[in-house]
Structure formats: structure tokens, C-alpha cells
Amino acid sequence: MLTVKLLPGKDARLLAGHPWIYRGEIARVEGEGVPGEIARVLDHRGRFLGQATLNRKSQIAGRLLSRREQPIDATFFERRIREALARPGRAASGPDACRLIFGEGDHLPGLIVDRYADLLVAQILTAGMERVRETIFDALLRLIAPRAIFERSDVSSRKLEGLDLRAGFARGAGETALWIREGDLEFLVNLAEGQKTGFFLDQRENRRAVRRLAEGRDVLDCFCYAGGFALSAAAGGANAVLGIDLSATSLAWARQSAERNALAGRCTFEEANAFDHLRALDRGERRFGLVVLDPPAFTKGREAVAGALRGYKEINLRAMKLLAPGGILVTCSCSYHVDAATFMDMLRSAAADARREFHLLESRTQCGDHPILLAAKETQYLKCVILEATD
């Protein structure tokens, strides 16, 4: 087994419970190995800290799997998957969709597994999980018995690990478009073409909040994707819902879901750039009782945070101006590089520039099947803030 020895003082993060080791924290590596191989991790005095996958091609060179010495084999991974499946909010069968494995949050760094009805979607994000890919898929088949496993290992972060992008059926075959149920609503999901693994499962509880707030309001849903928030608002009794997105394909899914749920009469979906459309709506003096902003991540790295904050402020300022008196803004960010405090400061600045006053009704995050490690703030990436205009 490889051995990683850390530089003096570079063990504090691991000792505090964080699972990552950065390349610059390593003093030396003893032994030769391929990317993703298991290594023993020692502090600079030689004291054992844990076992981690090692990939010196990546800035995050080590990802901790265990804090005690034990065999890292098929039995280990099956046990970890069983532990993940047993966490609250998860179900290995049924008509609903949920996250079953959330990477570092489930002590399986680099592995994402979502369930959509009887089909699993997996993402392999690191060299360490790439090496045990077949072991993972075998265990998922034994423990869950899905119809098939579809792989969406097509995210750009794989390139940072020296990995090629890959998408397609890993086990089994069949259709990739299917209907899922969320409460009493049904949504059309395309696992091969959709964002993330097909749907924004992390927003499930926030969609319920929007449904609770929507009654009697005209609703604007920007970056609406496949209509998750829009249909939730309509089902909650909204007078009318306008959904905006750049993707004609996503809007077609939203329209089909609206028809399926008998909500098409109150839902309109338009293909448009949300930044431009918000400006146009403001010029037209149209006002809404509820505005939802759920944009894609505006930054993938710390170097672009300033630009991302300018983008967040722009859309939030425009949305604030569009609110009727007593209107509600539900605004989100999925970039973990923009933390909750920074996001809230941006909202304060946007409100000041919009010359609007707000009550903070709720500050929310991702739903419970995306568990958060207290010591790893990166696992809490989703911010969802609900504001009420007081004027």
C-alpha cells in the first residue's frame, strides 16, 4: 500500500473531520501506484490518520475513505452503501426519486447515486471511485435490484482527475425518459439529456415551500428548467405561472408535465434569457406576487466568485423590483464557492439598490437526502432564501 506523509501542521483539517488532502499539503509519497489507489495517510511524525484514495494529478490529491486501518475491498464498499441507504429520507424502491449516495456526505467521496423510480443514475467523479466502478455497480445491483444503472460521468470535474467523460447504460438498458412522482405531482425526467442526473432532487423540500406560499399569487419562475418550481406553485393555487428558460428542450418537458398534472391552463413557459427577460418585464411594469430564482452555478472556482456575485446581484435586484407589495422572492444559489453569509450580503446590497425593504422569512438548504458534513462546508452547497417585501 502507498503511504502519504503530510507536511508539519497540515493534519489539522483531517483531525477536525474534513476528508480532503490538498496536493500542496503532502511532504512525500512512499511507493508507486496508479491514480486512485488506496494510501495510508500519516502526519509528519508518522502517526496514522486514515486511508485515502490518492491522485497526484488532482489538486485534491487525497480523499479519505476510513479513519481506521481496515481492508478497503468489496465488503467495505457494500457496507458503506448499506449505511447510506439507511439514512432518513431515502428509499431503495417506489415511485419517487431521491438521492441514495452523496459523495463525501456518505463517506464515499466521488460517488453520486440517484434513484428515479426503478432506475439508478450514477456519477463517478474521481479516480478513486473510477478504480472500483465495477465493484460499486455490482453492489448496487445486489442491494437495490434496479431495472438498470445509467451512468452520467460526463461532468467537467472528471478532467481535473485526469479522467475521460462517459455517459450511457452501465448495466441493463431501456428508455431514459420516465415519469417520477413528487408528492401528488408527476414530472417527466430524461436521465440522458437532463441537467445533473436528470432533475434537481436537492430542491424537493424547497419546492414544497414554494407550493405553500403560492396561493392566489401571480408567479414568475426564472431558470425554470423542467418546471419543478412552476408546477409546485400552480398546484399550490397560484393564479398564473410564467416559467422562463433558455432551453427549448427543458421547456418541452415542463409543458408535458403541466399537461400530465392538469395544470397547463395556469402555466405558460417561454424560451428566453432570464437576465434580458427580467429587464423587459421591469420596463413593462409587470408585477408578481412570487418570484423564484434558481440559476445554474455562476462559478465553478474561487477565482470567478466576484463575477458570479455581480450576476447574482443583477438578477436579484431585477426580481426585487418586479415584486408587488407584500410579494415574495425565493432565491437560490448552488455554488458552494458562494457561501451563505456572502449570498446574504449580496441580497442586502441588491435590496438597497432596488430601494425595497424585506423580511427574511426562511433560510433553507438542500433536502435531507443530501447529507451535510459539519466539518466539510463544501457539502452544504445549496442556499435558498425566502424574502417578503414589506412595502
Instruction: List the catalytic residues.
Output: 334
d(CA 349, CA 41) in angstroms, rounded, equals 45
- Joined together, the cell numbers standing for residue 209 give 415551500
Helix axes 305-322, 274-283, angle to 10 degrees: 30
d(CA 386, CA 208) in angstroms, rounded, equals 13
How does strand 218-222 pair with strand 240-245?
parallel
d(CA 89, CA 143) in angstroms, rounded, equals 17
d(CA 347, CA 353) in angstroms, rounded, equals 10
Assign 3-class secondary structure to 327-383.
EEEEEEECCCCCCHHHHHHHHHHHHHHHCCCEEEEEEECCCCCCCCCCCCHHHCCCE
Helix axes 228-235, 204-213, angle to 10 degrees: 40
User: How many residues appear in the chain?
Assistant: 391
Burial classification of residue 341, based on how many CB atoms lie within 10 Å of its CB (0-12 exposed, 13-18 middle, 19 or more buried):
exposed
Let me know the angle formed at the C-alpha of 381 by 186 and 199, rounded to the nearest 5 degrees: 20
Helix segments in the chain, DSSP class H = 12-15, 74-85, 127-131, 133-144, 157-160, 204-213, 228-235, 248-260, 274-283, 305-322, 340-354
Q: Which residues are CB-neighbours of 93 under 8 A, at least 6 positions away?
A: 118, 144
d(CA 327, CA 325) in angstroms, rounded, equals 5
- Residue 191's SS3 state is coil
Say if residues 63 and 22 touch (Cβ distance below 8 Å). Answer: no
Say if residues 126 and 104 touch (Cβ distance below 8 Å). Answer: no
